Structure formats: C-alpha cells, structure tokens
Amino acid sequence: MTDAGPTGPPPEEVPLLTRPEVVRRARRWAWLYTVAAVALLPWIGYLAVSLPRRNLEVHYRAAWVGFDCLLVFVIVRTAYMAFRVDPRVTFAATATATLLFVDAWFDVTTSNGRGAILLAILLALVVEIPAALFSLHLARRVNRQVLHLAHLDEFTYGAGPHRRGHGGGAHNGPVG
C-alpha cells in the first residue's frame, strides 16, 4: 500500500515526475523561488525601520512588514514544493502570483510623492508583475503536465477506485 492521499501517490512514485529533465527543471524553479525569498528578507528589514510609525492607518508599518512576511512564506513554500517535484506546487505558485499582484497594486496606490510613485510603478512593471506572471506560468505548466499524466494513467491502467464509474478499472463499485 502506498502513501497515496487525496491528491494521488507521492511524487517519487509517479514516473513522469522522476524523469531527469522534469526534476532538473523543477529544481531550477525551486532555486529561483529560494533566491526570491532570501532577497525579500533585507527588504522586510528595511521596511521595518524606514516606514513611518504612523500614517493615516495606525498599523501601517505592521501591515506592510506582515504582508511581506506572508509573501516570503508562500515563495518559500513554492520553492519547497518545486524542490520536491510536488505537483501541488500549482497551489503555492498561484498564491505567490496573487500576493505579488496585490503587492504591486498597493505599492503603487499607497505611495506618497512623485518619486515614490514612479519607483513603485517601476518595481511593479519590472519585478512584481513579471514574477507573478511567471508564477502563473509555472502553475499552468505543472497543471498541464499533471493532467497529461492523469490521461496516460487512465489510458494505461484504467480507472481505479479514485475514478469510480469512469471505466476500465477492475473495481468500479463503491469503495468501502
């Protein structure tokens, strides 16, 4: 019996996910996300000391530092899942993309002064939005590979208990 869960067998038991080129690509993506997370840490430190203690919002500094800590967490999670060649990396990459879009939006809309606004727009266009689009690309690409693998699995092995009533398996009845 395998350690299969609701998302299927562990990645190391899926032939496509152990192919050297897939593992190499996943590891490159993982390193990219790892570097991004590490690069954000000094930025968080800078925000913690440079943002005004009080703005119109009482917890302005805490909001930004907390948000960027959350962003680091999802980037690290994306890297971790990519290192493991785990197909659930799609969820972490989508969360990363979402937070990057939100970060770009609020950086631009909460900036004060012409210079700060221009810098926020530049960072949004050069860093945050491209990184978000890359994360969505990663999620889409992995999802397509998983769907392709599921199709191959269905074609090769037929439907198992997790695909009741969809033909081909030795057991199509209820699993009890």
Tens of pLDDT, residue by residue over 122-133, are 999 999 999 999
Has residue 75 been placed in a domain? yes
Has residue 3 been placed in a domain? no
Tell me what the mean pLDDT of segment 114-137 comes to: 96
- Tell me, what DSSP letter sits at residue 7? T
Distance CA 138, CA 145 (A): 11
Has residue 168 been placed in a domain? no
pTM beyond 0.75: the answer is no
Neighbours of 82 (CB within 10 A): 24
Has residue 134 been placed in a domain? yes
Q: Pick the closest to residue 17 from 78, 77, 87, 81 (CA basis).
A: 87
Q: What is the mean pLDDT of the chain?
A: 79
Domain that holds residue 115: 12-156
Has residue 1 been placed in a domain? no
Q: How confident is the model at residue 160 (pLDDT cuts 50, 70, 90)?
A: low
Neighbours of 146 (CB within 10 A): 19
Please count the structural domains in the chain. Answer: 1
Has residue 170 been placed in a domain? no
